[in-house]
Amino acid sequence: MEEREINMGSGWKMTIRMDVDKYGKQFIEIAKVRKEMKIGRFKLNPRYARKLGEELIRIGDELEKGGGLEEDAGESGED
């Protein structure tokens, strides 16, 4: 899996990539990046990636229904 980026606006982006820890176990790294520096990162066991994605979709749907999401061209991740 190649590194993927989501532009978040104001120079911030989120990167998602597969990596291997010092013990040889795979994980998914989700990092907040600005000016090519990782400011914050989270390591996720790949078996939970689908659950996280489904929960994020549910939260997005709830926010959208409640009017809590504003459309922003920089958040789509499309280039």
The C-alpha atoms of residue 5 and residue 14 are separated, in whole angstroms, by 6
- The token duo for 39 is 């400011």
Q: Give me the chain's average pLDDT, please.
A: 87
Structure tokens given for 42: 């989270």
Under the banding of pLDDT at 50, 70 and 90, the label for residue 1 is confident
Burial of 20 (0-12, 13-18, 19+ CB in 10 A): exposed
More confident position, 69 or 64: 64
Confidence grade of residue 72 (pLDDT, cut at 50, 70, 90):
low
**What confidence tens digit (pLDDT) does each residue in 7-41 have?**
998 999 999 999 999 999 999 999 999 998 999 99
Portion of the chain with pLDDT greater than 90, in percent: 73
Burial class for 17, CB neighbours closer than 10 Å (0-12, 13-18, 19+): middle
